[in-house]
Chain A
Amino acid sequence: MNLSAPSSILLSTADGPILGVLAGTTRALSGREVARLSGLSANGAWKALRRLVEHGLVSAEAAGAGTVVYTLNRDHLAAQPAMVLARLRATLLERLRTAIDAWHPAPLHASLFGSAARSDGDTASDIDLLVIRPRGIHEDDPAWRAQIESLADDVLRWTGNHAGIADVGEGDLKRLSRDRPPIVEEVERDAILLAGTPVDNLFARSSS
């Protein structure tokens, strides 16, 4: 799947972002606001909204001065599946967190980074995960390896994308903090925390 537009798996490139925006608020939004928040042109948003209103999935109300405001009709039969599709990315993060929370031994840190975190990948992009292995756990520890392999398999089944899991030992943090290869800055800028030590403290902590 394309994690930068997950709902495009089933919805059109206009319907997906619009339903995502409307599913994220109960406030009535003008067409202009819907277009801005969904990243669509005003004309593209208006055409899609008109069609969704025609089907009853989106409600339109006059708000005076010629302005029409839109809300998702949450009672519509299609509202539930639309909201599920609009939350695919959040659902993936929830699944990743749930899976990693069950790990024994637990990682010192786990995060999503790379294009999946930045939302600029496509269907062929790997889903990059950084996992910091606590001191005392060898990378070939059978329980640890089994967790890594299981997570990689899960990610592929959940999304159709391969997982690229960077399994880094806690002992390497000191060198990474000191040398700061470009990936450190990328992780600090983009990573989404899944478990353990927050990204902001990860590299600074070891350099002190």
Chain B
Amino acid sequence: MEVAELAGDESAPDPDFTSAAAALTVLAGIAADAACCKALGKRSRSDNHHDAEVLLRQIDPGGREAALALRKLISQKDDAHYGFYDVTASNLKKLHRQARHLIAFANDILTR
């Protein structure tokens, strides 16, 4: 996440780095998901990141919200990849917010 934030400064994103920053943000969010699956004793080993949503949703409390954050993060990453939307400063901020939510959730699970 730190690398993602370094690569994409929300206040003044460099167009050359925003796509990379978006991809790194998603990876940060997905890594958080792997950590939080501690609660279930397993993590998604699928190539499809959406499969992790299903696992996340099984964690209680907070799993449903985390799964929605992950879905949104993946969706935004896909949209940016396809070129459906520009990774602007505000979009990058949203990506960071979703990833931070997942990381905070993972930290919470690890300390439960």
- Is A175's beta carbon under 8 Å from chain B? yes
Q: List 12 A-B contacts (CB under 8 A).
A: A156-B54, A162-B53, A164-B74, A164-B78, A166-B75, A166-B78, A166-B79, A167-B75, A169-B85, A176-B83, A176-B84, A182-B83
Q: Which residue of A lies closest to B67 (CB)?
A: A149
Interface size on B, residues (CB 8 A): 17
Q: Given A172-B85, A176-B84, A183-B84: A167 and B50 within 8 A (CB)?
A: no
Number of A-B contacts (CB under 8 A): 43
Q: A124-B48, A149-B68 are in contact. Are A164 and B75 (CB under 8 A)?
A: yes
Q: Which residues in chain B, 43-62, are within 8 Å of chain A measured between CB atoms?
A: 47-48, 50-51, 53-54
Task: Choose among B50, B53, B75, B84 the residue that contacts A172 (Cβ–Cβ < 8 A).
Answer: B84
Told that A149-B71, A166-B79, A172-B85 touch, could you supply 11 new A-B pairs with CB distance under 8 A? A126-B48, A126-B50, A130-B84, A162-B50, A164-B74, A164-B78, A166-B75, A167-B75, A179-B83, A182-B83, A183-B83
Interface residues of B in 75-112 (CB under 8 A from A): 75, 78-79, 82-86
* CB-defined contacts of A81 to chain B, threshold 8 Å: none
**Which residues of B are at the interface with A, using a C-beta cutoff of 8 A?**
47-48, 50-51, 53-54, 68, 71, 74-75, 78-79, 82-86
Say yes or no for A152: interface residue by CB 8 A criterion.
Answer: yes
Q: A residues touching B (Cβ–Cβ < 8 Å)?
A: 124, 126, 130, 149, 152, 156, 162, 164-169, 172, 175-176, 179, 181-184
Contact pick for B79, options A149, A152, A168, A184, CB 8 Å: A168
Q: How far apart are the CA atoms of A168 and B79 in the complex, in Å? A: 8
B71 touching A175 by the CB < 8 A rule?
A: no
Residues B82 and A162 in contact, CB atoms below 8 Å apart: no
**For the complex of A and B, 5 pairs with smallest distance between CB atoms:** A181-B83, A162-B50, A183-B82, A168-B84, A166-B84
Residue of A162, A167, A168 with highest tally of chain B CB at under 10 A: A162
Chain B hits for A184, CB < 8 A: 83
CB distance from A128 to the nearest CB of B (A): 8
In the complex, what residues of A have CB within 8 A of residue B51's CB?
Answer: 162
Closest CB-CB distance, A133 to chain B, in whole Å?
A: 11
